[in-house]
Structure 1
Amino acid sequence: MPPDERRRAPRHASEIRNVYELLDEVRLRPGMWVHGSSLLHLDSMLMGYRIALNPYGAYEDWPFWNPGSQGSFAEWLWQRLGRHSSLGWAAEIERQAQAAGQEAMELFFSLFDEYRTEREHAAR
């Protein structure tokens, strides 16, 4: 997200159209959306969001809940780290952040931005 985007006013939940916009809101105010800024709680929230779409037959590009899927964030993360983890992306990023003395949410968004950039370049 560009630095100017971080200064914009938060949107109401009813204005959020997809998971990427939801994550933009989480980035603005992580403590409001995710208890303790825990990536495990974020992962749970994202799974709930995805499950809530099912009854409506809503399709959405979904990078988080596709175990073993080539385009998933987790698969990208395992390739980037050069190893696989059965803990899942959220726990692994929290471990990485703790080892680096960094905020887990900050590291997640840095990695997620990198993932999105690579996906956008590959789609061109």
Structure 2
Amino acid sequence: MAEAEMARRAPRQLTEMRDVYDLLEEVRLRPGMWVRGSSLQHLDSMLFGYHVALRVHGAKEELDFRQGGPFADWLWPRLGYEYESSLGWAVEIERAAEATDRPAIELFFELLDEFRAEQGQPGA
């Protein structure tokens, strides 16, 4: 999402969100409100809770962010890994961000945008 668009857009209510990507756009808009310390490990935990809630309630939405899921499978070669890291995508993105002296949450959203664009997902 363009920064100018994010700056103009008001936060949405939970009832207005359709899927995990809508939720992630709210996190992008105000990461400090959603994710303690902008930690990707906390974001990963939040997404795991989202995944559990989907299963508990029988929702049909597939979650791309689980271990071994589409996002992780796409990410490993992008970060230079031949195989999946047992530490998970959040830790490995945090390591990559630290190595380049960038905020991890910023790198996550950059990678997320690339992933969505390559997957042909709307809103990417």
The TM-score with structure 1 as length reference comes to 0.88
Residue 101 of structure 2: aligned partner: 101
Residue 30 of structure 2: aligned partner: 29
Residue 114 of structure 1: aligned partner: 114
| 1:49-88 to 2 correspondences below 5 Å | 49-67=50-68, 69=69, 72-83=70-81, 84=83, 85-88=85-88
Cα offsets for 1:37-66 (capped at 9, x unmatched): 000000000010111111221111321115
Identify which range, 88-97 or 76-85, moves more after superposition: 76-85
Residue 38 of structure 1: aligned partner: 39
What amino acid is aligned across from residue 112 of structure 1 in structure 2?
L
Q: Distance in 2 between matches of 1:61 and 1:54?
A: 10
Q: Distance in 2 between matches of 1:112 and 1:52?
A: 22
Residue 5 of structure 2: aligned partner: 5
Q: Distance in 2 between matches of 1:80 and 1:10?
A: 31
Q: Which runs of 5+ in 2 are unaligned?
A: none
What amino acid is aligned across from residue 101 of structure 1 in structure 2?
D
Number of corresponding residues: 118
Q: Distance in 1 between matches of 2:96 and 2:15?
A: 34
Identify which range, 98-107 or 46-55, moves more after superposition: 46-55
Determine if contact 2:67/2:88 at 8 Å carries over to the other structure. Answer: no
What amino acid is aligned across from residue 57 of structure 2 in structure 1?
Y
Of all paired residues, the percent bearing the same amino acid is 59
| Large movers: runs of 4+ above 2 Å | 2-5
The TM-score with structure 2 as length reference comes to 0.88
Q: Distance in 2 between matches of 1:92 and 1:54?
A: 26
Q: Distance in 2 between matches of 1:4 and 1:50?
A: 31
RMSD between aligned residues: 1.4
Q: Which runs of 5+ in 1 are unaligned?
A: none
Q: Distance in 2 between matches of 1:82 and 1:92?
A: 11
